[in-house]
Amino acid sequence: MKDSKYYKKLRLRKKQDKEPNYGWMTRLLLSVIFVLVSLILTNLNKDFKAKYYEEVLNKNMNFNQINEFYRKYIGKGKENDNDVEIANLDDKALKEVVKENNSFKLNVGNDYPVAVLKPGIIVFMGDKDDLGNTIIIQGNDGIDIWYSNITVSDYSLYDYVSTGDILGVNNEDYYKLTIMKDGKYLEYDEYFS
């Protein structure tokens, strides 16, 4: 019986199941080492500390580059949703789209659930100029979408959101969208066509 094909396959399968997978531990240790090296260098060298503060803390970081680097050298992080379609705005609820300065006011009625149009990382949450409560999502395609005049539900800064996730509800009978790429404002029709 111990020489049968079934028994050999079972033994081989049990042996493979017992072999540990250390991939997650390697990624964790590399991340910890990177953070520790950054902390040590910022404490030892004042020039590096000034450059670090300028480049990392004061500028708007492009998280797509970080995500690509992480996926290439360390392993898969969040799945990249570049192939996902833009979430559809509900045509029945959308009454009107009006351009106001660089934003687009979407009249939808009260307590409309605002969905994420493209996947990305939340890079800002708070009051922005005259837009009110704003969430900025840096998309996987490099486009920043600002969702303004909404009450956030369960998200925090640097959370990854997918297409169709509900950010929250609008505060009045409208919410505003601002679409930017490389510091330039995009038109609503240009982006959604």
pLDDT tens for 35-52 read 898 889 889 988 888 888
pLDDT band at 85 (very low <50, low <70, confident <90, very high): very low
7, pLDDT greater than 80: no
pTM over 0.75: no
Question: Which of these, 150, 140, 146, lies nearest to 175 by C-alpha position?
Answer: 150
Considering all CA atoms of the chain, what is the largest pairwise distance in Å, rounded to the nearest integer? Answer: 80
95-138 pLDDT, tens digit each: 777 888 888 888 888 888 888 888 888 988 988 878 888 999 99
Contact 109, 156 (CB under 8 A): no
